[in-house]
Amino acid sequence: MADATLSAGRSRSLLPSWQTVSYVLRRWPILPLFTIFVLVVVGLLAPWISPHDPLSVDLDSRNTPPFWYQGETATKTVVQQVDKWDVEARTTQISLRDVRKDFPDREWALGDTAEVVTKPGGDSDHWLGTDQTGRDILSRIIHGARVSLLVTAVSLSSGLVVGTVLGLVAGYADQIFLRFGNHIDETIMRIVEITYAVPTILIALVIVIVFGQSFVVLLGLLAFVAWNAFPRNVRAEVLSLKTSDYVALAKVAGAGPLRVMFVHIFPGVINTILVISTLRVGQLILTEAILSFLGAGIPPPKPAWGAMVADGREYLADAWWIALFPGVCIFLVVMALNFLGDWMRDRFDPRLRQLE
């Protein structure tokens, strides 16, 4: 009794309480950051940490379940011929020909009983199982992370640069171009609005049909998805910053429009850009997955999460792991990025900063 209370007291002092843990988890984006960290590390180190070649086909071990999966065996009586139409017979009998093929190392006679594997179990060589052509799913997921990272990095950075520049120009055009500024602003914003109305997936499918499925086409499509969130938000930020008192004082001090833009306004929109980028990465990964799922994304032999889900769809009843694991990866990464983006938005909001 005394021991129990003593150890309880000690554990309370050593381990943080559940309240503390849940507070820290809610306060800081630890889980999202961890997920994204794992994604980046795995993506960068893919060739060295993946247990198998993601492309090597092994038809003998196709549809192997994950490692914890117990196989099933049944005791079957050896008969000359199994009646195909008799369900009962199929589960309890095996034909002489089949049993000789499966267990060639002993003699078989009619009426013998054999322990037959009816469902193969998982094995530790393929932790998350294999797909319908025997490729290792874990290796394909690891390499898929690399592909997702590459695609989003390229399309996001190009979209970010284009979008930010357009946003800055639209917001500050009236100071630089004076009389024409308004028209430039209007033109840019109308173009952005038009792109909002474009059904991206549909257009993507058409473009893929016209130009064929290739990596470059995909990057172009995703860059198109990435850029249009930036101009609007950056412009809004610029509009509020350019009427701020410190910008007025910079003008009083003689600062020209370019100095005001780069010294006073641009640093103020970096937070906004970061937040949008984080939220956009999730969306880009999702769009890439959708396009790959629809067969308009990354060309087939390369492992992509979306394409893996599409491949596994036909085998869902028998081999759910083919579709499930890449699906879970997409879900986790997109969720993590969204949570991180939300957290950053709250964190960088100057109105909330004072409340700490």
> Quick one: tokens of 324?
């499930």
Query: Which parts of 212-349 fold into alpha helices (H)?
Result: 215-227, 229-242, 245-252, 257-259, 266-293, 305-313, 321-348
Looking only at residues 151 through 180 of this chain, which bind another protein when binding is defined by CB under 8 A?
Answer: none
Q: Which is nearer to another protein, 251 or 345 (CB)?
A: 251
**Residue 232 identity (one-letter amino acid):** R
> Quick one: tokens of 193?
């609005």
**Nearest distance from C-beta of residue 165 to another protein, angstroms:** 20
Per-residue CA distances from 11 to 15, 16, 109, 158 (Å): 6, 9, 65, 52
Q: Is 194 in the site for another protein (CB under 8 A)?
A: no
Q: Which is nearer to another protein, 126 or 264 (CB)?
A: 264
**Nearest distance from C-beta of residue 248 to another protein, angstroms:** 6
Exposure b/e, 197-208, CB count within 10 A at least 16 = b: eeebeeebbebb
**Nearest distance from C-beta of residue 342 to another protein, angstroms:** 23
**Nearest distance from C-beta of residue 263 to another protein, angstroms:** 8
Looking only at residues 333 through 352 of this chain, which bind another protein when binding is defined by CB under 8 A?
Answer: 350
Q: Which is nearer to another protein, 128 or 273 (CB)?
A: 273
Looking only at residues 241 through 300 of this chain, which bind another protein when binding is defined by CB under 8 A?
Answer: 244-246, 248-255, 259, 263-264, 267-268
Contact map string, positions 67 to 106, toward another protein, x by CB under 8 A: ----------------------------------------
CA–CA gap between residue 18 and residue 350 (Å, rounded): 31
Contact map string, positions 200 to 239, toward another protein, x by CB under 8 A: ----------------------------------------
Residue 132 CA, distance from chain mean position: 22
> Quick one: tokens of 17?
């309480």
Q: Which is nearer to another protein, 252 or 317 (CB)?
A: 252
Whole-angstrom distance between the N-terminal and C-terminal Cα of the chain? 44
Using CA atoms of 46, 52, 53, 56 in order, give the dihedral in degrees to the nearest 10: -150
* Interface with another protein (CB under 8 A): 244-246, 248-255, 259, 263-264, 267-268, 350
